[in-house]
Amino acid sequence: MSRGNEGVLSAGRARRALYPNDAAPSHAARHLHTFYFPKPLHTPKGRYYIFVTSFMFEVDAVITWVDGADPVHRAKRERHLALAQADVVAQARAPLHDNGTNPHRWLCSDELNYCVRSIANNAPWVRRIWIVTDAQTPEIMQLPPEIAAKISIVDHSEIFAGYDDALPTFNSLSIETMLWRIPGLAEHFLYFNDDVFLTAPVTPSDFFAGDGPVLRGKWTDHSDLAACGASRDEASLLNHFNQINAAQMIGYSADHVFESAHVVHPMQRSVMADLFENFPSEFAHNASYRFRDTAQFLPQSLHNHACLADNSAAILDTRDYLHIAVGAHGQYSADDVSGFLRGAERDAIKFLCVNDLPEVERSFPDARVWIEEAIGG
């Protein structure tokens, strides 16, 4: 990867350098204004150009999914939740977090259907679609045969091989810790929560610049939050603590955390493998939590900070996504939400995240119609 005031960034693999906690990584990152090839790339050191006519690597999609209403899954979850609550010593040391035990976390309301269909409509170039589940098989309707043929179901037991004591798990953070271990997964992959949908045609260049990821989010000062122990009990803040923990593992401080947006996460398998090699005990510990906890790190945030530290990541400084967070149905009028969702139909908006579809739908019965229009097809 060449450098200079006016240079060319090749699509070759960048050298990965991991930084221990006592190191001071560079906070410089490449920022993208537009994302078409060829395109200017503005950096703290000058302006570069990328000339790429086609991507020389394949890209997979990975989606985590669970049907929490399944009687078998629900009974298993309730049994392990009761065991955790009965562990007096563990509860005294670190009580279960409300964010990790709230039943809405396992709700299933056809989000997976929308997610996969949005990939089919807007990213047909994806090589394979891996759906990670816990002994469940989803039903996905209205898929073209060529897209249905790309889908593979991966059980938790496959990616947790060698860490079987961590199963069963009901914790997305633990599952995300092991996603890179999917047998046959491409080096470059896109991680989707099942409530994230593509709302416009995308290309690999929306997710990768050369060999590094294109990140969406912002630098955030979380020093006050990190210093406030009481905040760790607030359900809405758990994700912030998980990202702080990830940043600190790479050597960043709480006052300089890259807060990832709720979008599709471009990731590289080799980066996660390198991180696992450097932090084996931390990975094993992270995967061991059956329910979410503030002591955990967010795996995709760890990946992102590692790429930022070695300057292989690019930060997109235009907002091309919409996010309806949990509780938004109570904060906005029907017209506001309608306009918000219909905004996803614009070509400039490529990603839509609806965190709490059942609640949104209770207040706005037309929500599914809006989503159908947004994902196309």
Domain count, the chain: 2
Q: What is the pTM of this model?
A: 0.83
Comparison of pLDDT for 36 and 10, the residue scoring more: 36
Specify the amino acid at residue 246. A
Of 87-96, 117-126, 316-325, the range with the lowest mean pLDDT is 87-96
Residue 102 in domain: no
Q: Let me know if residue 81 belongs to a domain.
A: no
Say if 71 falls within a structural domain: no
pLDDT score, position 83: 86
Mean of the pLDDT values across residues 261-271?
A: 97
Q: What value does the mean pLDDT of the chain take?
A: 80
Q: Which residue matches tokens 């061991």?
A: 288
How does pLDDT run across 55-95, given as a tens digit for each residue? Answer: 678 999 999 999 988 999 999 999 988 888 887 556 655 65
pLDDT at 26 over 70: no
The region of weakest confidence among 7-16, 36-45, 85-94, 127-136 is 7-16
What tokens appear for 7 in the block?
Answer: 């240079």
Under 8 Å between Cβ of 289 and 325: no
Q: How far is CA 150 from CA 29, 45, 264, 335, 338, in A?
A: 34, 42, 19, 38, 33
Paired residues of 259 in beta bridges: 218
Residue 370 forms part of a structural domain: yes
Say if strands 217-220 and 257-260 run parallel, antiparallel, or are unpaired: antiparallel
Alpha carbon distance 248, 258 (integer Å): 11
Looking at residue 211, its amino acid is D
Domain of residue 17 covers 6-50
Q: Specify the pLDDT at position 40.
A: 40
Give the pLDDT score at 230: 56
Domain presence at residue 30: yes
Looking at the domain assignment, is residue 25 inside a domain?
Answer: yes
What is the CA 36 to chain-centroid distance, rounded?
A: 23
**Position 32 in a domain:** yes
